[in-house]
Structure 1
């Protein structure tokens, strides 16, 4: 608990269920370690009442805050969430807002270390050797592609404002 409080706890700007992504980053950036314990399994089952965003948006935000994921992760889950909300436009707006918030919050870090991380990943992928994969996967193993992706992601998002995001969907 002391370490949790020392690091500032969860950022309430993140949506429920993923605030641990941001907190994990806080731990890591403060010199801590994140580990997965493979020999422990947790079986969780439960049910809850769903508050749809379009029914009571203020209550939903009050109860859970607004959550943000790294952009790549948001895109992976985008279709999953969009299928469960009444208005896809509203959900797309929320997701884009979250991406914008994340890149504004961590943009300097991503620019400073993203290319180095991309180089490290590209080196690892090069050592793994060729694989049978679709063209996008092959392209994503190219070091220049990885570096360019990081750079463009941050620069493009930092230039956008929430007003521009809203204008695109409303």
Structure 2
């Protein structure tokens, strides 16, 4: 079992022996710096790593660097986040939506943006959209508060605040590890026929879907297309934006840069029974990619078992089909069949309280809270 225990300036991290290379862990522990000390102890079927530093924050930073190296994640110079300052006249506005996954953003995502953007004028805007987040590490950045976990509204608010000619939208479960990412993105967007670029294009029945890992656009295009449709609370907004760009004749292209999308950290924190533990495991980079994928799979199974989630999935897709039916049909999508499928998904819940969630945001937020372990999510790390 993966576990993190904290006692003042000491972090004790337990991992299954078969989940990590103990020798590589020892090598990583030997290279810990910044005044921290680490030791590795094998205890039966587990390996225990104790990291000690002057305080909990320093121990956490050292643990994140140690496990990052052991798991093959990137490492960044100490103080990368703390030493960054927004440009007075940014060219690119990097927008991070942060509901709950603040430790990962602090130790991995934000340092990756800063380190990979050297030589470019950027600003970072953190949109808080949850609770239990330690704001102190982000005070020197630009911050805003938005509705809990509402992806579309949070990113729209961030773009409204942006000063750059370009915006780059980042999910809170990714990182970029390529110093060429801005140069390549801006070179692609020099073509007015390109509406957006991203390293990751998902597929919905053969149509591309641009993911925010990051999603880079001209701010002017974002505003002209209307940004994310705030009808969607979570999900479908990326499909909607992609189709909106393509329907007006612009392309969405894949950006060839080094990045990683550790998919599903946000939804896993919402659905997991021990989100306080999970937040630390994510933030200190303890979990290998295979373990993160397993956690995400279990979280999604729990989420889709909720009647109101199934109802919303059907309702949101019907809204999407209503907006883009003609465009989708012209691109080979069997729209009548999809309408029937999503109407059937929604139908069993039409006579239940779930129907109110699509039109009453307060009820929707209450339903999300009922799924969460709120007390654990709200606990500071």
| TM-score normalized with structure 2 length | 0.23
Structure number having the greater strand percentage: 2
Q: Which has the larger radius of gyration?
A: 2
| TM-score normalized with structure 1 length | 0.46
Between the two structures, name the one with larger relative contact order (CA 8 Å, sep ≥ 6): 1
Structure number having the greater helix percentage: 1
